[in-house]
Structure 1
Amino acid sequence: MILKDNNPSGGLGNSLPQSPEKLKQIRDLICDYTAERELIPPLQEEEVIFHSGELIKKHPELFLYQKLLAVMINNHSWRDIVSGIPFNRRILLLPKCIAHATECPAQFDELGLLCEQCGKCDIAEITTQADELGYHTLVSEGTTTVSTLLGSGKVECVIGVGCLHSFEKSFPLAVKEAVPSMAIPLYNNDCKNSKVDKLWLDEILPIRKESNWYGWINIDSLRSDINSWFEKDQLALLIDGEDESSQIAIDWLAQGGKRWRPLIMLAVYKALMGSEAVMDDCIQKLAVSIECFHKASLVHDDIVDEDHERYDQPTLHRQYDTPVAINVGDLILGFGYQFIAESGAKHIRKLLKIASYGHRDLAIGQGEELLWRKNKALLSVEDILKIFSLKTSPAFEVALQFGAIISDAGDDVMQVLTTYSSALGIAYQIKDDLDDFNLENIDNAFNTIQPSLVTAIINREHPEKMKAWFKDFQNGNDFSKKEIWKQTEIREGIKEAEQMLENYKLKALSSIVELKSPSLKILLTRLLNKILN
């Protein structure tokens, strides 16, 4: 039975019990609830809401504490991972409002409050305890310093103290970055002479045990490793042909790009294998093979899109000519399949099947786009999304599934990655399409070379205006870009496309809810936001 609380702090659903005993009772209930369920972080907002609701069904008297329950449930999902992180890689973030409102002698610098250990509030006692354990401690309302420390790789976990309202605002950011974190709400929400439950804090700060958590996967470090594999001397060890076509292929593979696809493969492999991941010749050949498929498609795309530059240099068909470029693109595809066959990887048959299916689907999507250009008719929103799915999703799926296959992942993981990559690929293309609809790129928005989701949305609602705008652009009529860009119909089309982008991001995140590997779930959450940033 839950103790009655005669003085809850906050409004409906935003309350906090005013006694340590009552808080401890609720925490124990959460422990019992989560013990029956396997909650794998990071939890999405809808997951936290669902579990809070399930708990309230069992204990209706907890209705006043909806947001507190959400915080506690999220805490428990992260507890095992947080306890596996060394103290010197954790941040304790305290709010300034714990300081005495009128008698605090402390000064502030760019990092926050510089405690004078005057004893007029609990800050000195709390920070001393945290410092003795080895925490980085900040007394600050801002998250800039925390973000900097997280980005530096020096820390990978946040223990935050604050009001429920502040946690509600910061939760989406924590989910977006998949930061291992635990939160301890203040008793009061009025940002003055605030108090925290020391019993609760004393319970969380010292938690520590060995776990299978090997830390965040350092995306920048992985990218550096991968880039070294694409230096010309390294590629020459894989491509030993002395003919001119092979040399052109090496030069093209060595040129710039974000190398997202090999990076994704390697990150998934490390997430699933943990300390057993080995960066050997097999992994290198598979990573290079994935980039071969991508770079070959760029050669062909540049030709059909009539592009003149890539990586701030002339495209391959401009450097040489179209027949040479087509042949080099085909050659690079051949190298991709060769590297898979020569990798010595387990499950080569599976790898070749995934690669060939991805190649096939990309060609089908490109074919749909090329036939659209020939017909000159504006496509429907559904047709555009189908092309987006076929053209972009397979490349992400090949990378994700290569990483899973070489890690011996089961069919359940493979199915999740298929759904995730489909949503990610569509979201990626929608974002690319929206980039054309800013003021600087508005000329690109009305071209007849590439299908556009925004123009399809506008055409669905305003076909006559769409036809007139296309005609003006095609005839080279001189009119103000700003005036076109500010048209209500265009703004509405952009807004709907932006909402669709958010929907596909949510679809990608929803697809990973059932994953049992926290490392993989955290990685996929972070990758989604990095790729679509």
Structure 2
Amino acid sequence: MDREILSLIDEELKKYVNKNNKLYSAANHLLLSGGKRLRPYLCVLVYKLKKDNLSEVLPAAVSVELIHNYTLIHDDIMDNDDLRRGKPTVHKVYGNAMAILAGDLLYAKAFEAVANIKDNRKAHEVLKILADACVYVCEGQAMDMEFEEKDSVSLEEYLDMIRKKTGALIEAAAKIGAVMGDFNDEEMKAIEKYAENIGLTFQIQDDVLDLIADEEKLGKPVGSDIREGKKTIIIIHALSTLEEDKKNRLKSLLGKKDITKEEIGEAIEILRPSIEYAKNLMENKTIEAIDALKIFDKDRRKPLEDLAKFIISRCY
């Protein structure tokens, strides 16, 4: 990823969270703790397919990152997670009430960033894209929570959930870059196809990393999805393909409150074929994403091709 672009994104973000008090400290705890900056970076790369005036696109790009961090803070509260990016979560440091306010602040700041877009027509389009994405994220999160109560979840249901919970903001980032770059209808459709595919691969890679990543790089314990009994693509595939004895053993381990590290290791071994299935699916979706870019200039599209490959090769 281009460090110069990432540096510009970070500088733009700091403009919106620059007060020195407890609320802003809580908001900054996650926002400025690192993170991949995938969404604003994607927004800028899409914009750069046609234009180069980055000062025009930066407020729009950071609006998506502000929304993303708001969702993470609230997500951590709902899941009662202890760690995010290897650091204590906002609610563990500042308490639930202040963490909720910090998330709300970032949500409000996203729309302050949209208001800083100079072109009113573009600002209106960006606002609509962001509002739609926020609705989808809420719907996707609700689906994910409901899945925990269901005995079985289909692959189609899971893919619909991640298109909303994870994919919506990734697609929004790409579409906002296209709006700011004055894309025509054909170009917008190509970018939507690219973004839909990388949105899916991003979440699937998260599911894979939860099982096989280095804990230090991941920033949280490996096997969290097993511990919580989450219906990920890997677990859904396993439950529909495993032999009865292995399926029953896996079911006995999913969501087990006092599960040991050894039992998590056992579950991961049972899931190996399904991890490979997920990896193959990601490869195919990445090919589809890259194919969608062929209508754009070869040199200008290369960073987006590289980003699609990075998403499925990342280790955190």
1:297 CA displacement: 0.9
Cα distance in structure 1, aligned partners of 2:139 and 2:231: 15
Higher relative contact order (CA 8 A, sep 6+): 2
Q: Which moved more, 1:293-302 or 1:476-485?
A: 476-485
> After superposition, what is the alpha-carbon deviation per residue over 1:118-159, rounded to whole angstroms, capped at 9, x for unaligned?
xxxxxxxxxxxxxxxxxxxxxxxxxxxxxxxxxxxxxxxxxx
Corresponding residue number in structure 2 for 1:75: none
Cα distance in structure 1, aligned partners of 2:223 and 2:9: 35
> Compared with structure 1, are the counterparts of its residues 505 and 402 closer, same or farther at alpha carbon in structure 2 (3 Å cutoff)?
same
1:472 CA displacement: 3.6
Corresponding residue number in structure 1 for 2:217: none
Indicate conservation of the 8 Å contact 1:293/1:333, yes or no. yes
1:485 CA displacement: 3.8
Indicate conservation of the 8 Å contact 2:73/2:100, yes or no. yes
What amino acid does structure 1 have at the position aligned with 2:237? I
Please say if 1:336 is aligned against 2:116: no
Please say if 1:228 is aligned against 2:11: yes
Cα distance in structure 1, aligned partners of 2:175 and 2:137: 16
Cα distance in structure 1, aligned partners of 2:20 and 2:265: 53
Cα distance in structure 2, aligned partners of 1:367 and 1:340: 27
Correspondence list, 1:288-303, <5 A: 288-303=62-77
> Compared with structure 1, are the counterparts of its residues 383 and 463 closer, same or farther at alpha carbon in structure 2 (3 Å cutoff)?
farther
Please say if 1:429 is aligned against 2:207: no
Q: Which moved more, 1:314-323 or 1:246-255?
A: 246-255
Cα distance in structure 2, aligned partners of 1:247 and 1:491: 42
Identity %: 24
> After superposition, what is the alpha-carbon deviation per residue over 1:383-418, rounded to whole angstroms, capped at 9, x for unaligned?
211112111212211221222111111111111111
1:363 CA displacement: 1.1
Cα distance in structure 2, aligned partners of 1:500 and 1:287: 29
Cα distance in structure 2, aligned partners of 1:308 and 1:343: 36
What amino acid does structure 2 have at the position aligned with 1:245? L
Cα distance in structure 2, aligned partners of 1:241 and 1:477: 43
Indicate conservation of the 8 Å contact 2:163/2:199, yes or no. yes
5+ residue gaps, structure 2: 215-220
Among 164, 183, 188, the residue aligned to 1:414: 188
Corresponding residue number in structure 1 for 2:231: 451
Q: What secondary structure does 1:437 align onto?
A: helix
Corresponding residue number in structure 1 for 2:35: 257
> Compared with structure 1, are the counterparts of its residues 316 and 480 closer, same or farther at alpha carbon in structure 2 (3 Å cutoff)?
closer
Give the number of the structure whose residues are more often strand, by fraction: 1
1:365 CA displacement: 0.7
Corresponding residue number in structure 2 for 1:181: none
Corresponding residue number in structure 2 for 1:360: 135
1:442 CA displacement: 5.8
Corresponding residue number in structure 1 for 2:304: 524
1:506 CA displacement: 1.8
1:311 CA displacement: 3.0
1:347 CA displacement: 1.5
> After superposition, what is the alpha-carbon deviation per residue over 1:87-109, rounded to whole angstroms, capped at 9, x for unaligned?
xxxxxxxxxxxxxxxxxxxxxxx
Corresponding residue number in structure 2 for 1:44: none
What amino acid does structure 2 have at the position aligned with 1:355? L
TM-score by length of structure 1 reads 0.52
1:463 CA displacement: 7.4
> After superposition, what is the alpha-carbon deviation per residue over 1:218-277, rounded to whole angstroms, capped at 9, x for unaligned?
7222112223334xxx42xx457676434532454322112111112222222311xxx2
Corresponding residue number in structure 1 for 2:251: 470
Q: What secondary structure does 1:435 align onto?
A: helix
Aligned length: 303
5+ residue gaps, structure 1: 1-217
Tell which structure's C-alpha radius of gyration is larger: 1
Cα distance in structure 1, aligned partners of 2:73 and 2:259: 32
Give the number of the structure whose residues are more often helix, by fraction: 2
Q: CA RMSD, aligned part only?
A: 2.5
1:521 CA displacement: 2.9
Indicate conservation of the 8 Å contact 1:268/1:520, yes or no. no
Please say if 1:389 is aligned against 2:163: yes
Corresponding residue number in structure 2 for 1:42: none
Corresponding residue number in structure 2 for 1:507: 288
Indicate conservation of the 8 Å contact 1:368/1:387, yes or no. yes
TM-score by length of structure 2 reads 0.85
